[in-house]
Amino acid sequence: MSTETTPTPGSGSRQSVDVGIVIERRMVDSPWQDYEWSPVAVIVGAPPMDATDEWMELRRGDDWVHFHAGTLPLELFAGETEGYRKNISEDQPYIYIVLNPGEEADDPEVIPFLATACPYEAESYTEDTDQIVEGVPMPPEVVAWVLDYIDTYHVDVKFEKRKQKKAYDPRKGGFQQRPDKGTRQ
């Protein structure tokens, strides 16, 4: 697995690896749609492929087809190591895939948009109901890479409770009367 490291000012470094996004098209019995789309796997070190390129069919079953739909960078940032730690601590760590709907007539139904190892970043994309956000199992070599990254860049931040400011109480002083501007008639 070849990774790319880019220093970024003030945040340690950014590392990335290209992952191919495997999308499943499954036939559904519904009057409103013919197929259901979902990410099912990633291919570590996949060849470059733009999301608008022709999809490559990988496997086919009776009512489903798996496609290599695009290649995206899986990037790790020093400021997100807490999210990576949360993900890795689960029984099954995931790479979260965000799919956008195709907007042009010649676009596929869904377009791979983002691959992330941070569950908090993935969660932020669930606010848009048009996007599909799902996790796929993280391959063992990616788990090892993320663990190494966490060991190198994670810094525990001590929790400090904020001190609450006291509410203003005019009975305790500091309250100034407004100058009398006369009475209305």
172 falls within a domain: no
185 falls within a domain: no
- Once rounded to an integer, what is the mean pLDDT over residues 2-31? 78
- Give residue 11's pLDDT band: very low, low, confident or very high (50, 70, 90): very low
pLDDT in tens, 119-140: 999 999 998 778 999 999 999 9
114 falls within a domain: yes
- For residue 10, the enclosing domain spans 4-153
The gap from C-alpha 42 to its chain's centroid, in whole angstroms, comes to 15
26 falls within a domain: yes
pLDDT in tens, 74-133: 999 999 999 999 999 999 999 999 999 988 877 888 999 999 999 999 999 998 778 999
161 falls within a domain: no
- Rounded Cα gap, residues 147 and 163, in angstroms: 35
Residue 24's pLDDT is 97
How many structural domains comprise the chain? 1
181 falls within a domain: no
- Rounded Cα gap, residues 127 and 55, in angstroms: 28
Residue 173's pLDDT is 65
- Rounded Cα gap, residues 111 and 114, in angstroms: 10
- Give residue 159's pLDDT band: very low, low, confident or very high (50, 70, 90): confident
159 falls within a domain: no
**Which residues have CB under 8 Å from 119's CB, separation 6+?**
83, 86, 87, 94, 96, 135
- Once rounded to an integer, what is the mean pLDDT over residues 4-25? 76
DSSP label at residue 175: -
- Rounded Cα gap, residues 48 and 115, in angstroms: 14
% of the chain exceeding 70 in pLDDT? 84
168 falls within a domain: no
Residue 179's pLDDT is 65
- Answer with the residue of higher pLDDT: 181 or 119: 119
pLDDT in tens, 43-68: 999 999 886 789 999 999 999 999 99
Residue 102's pLDDT is 85
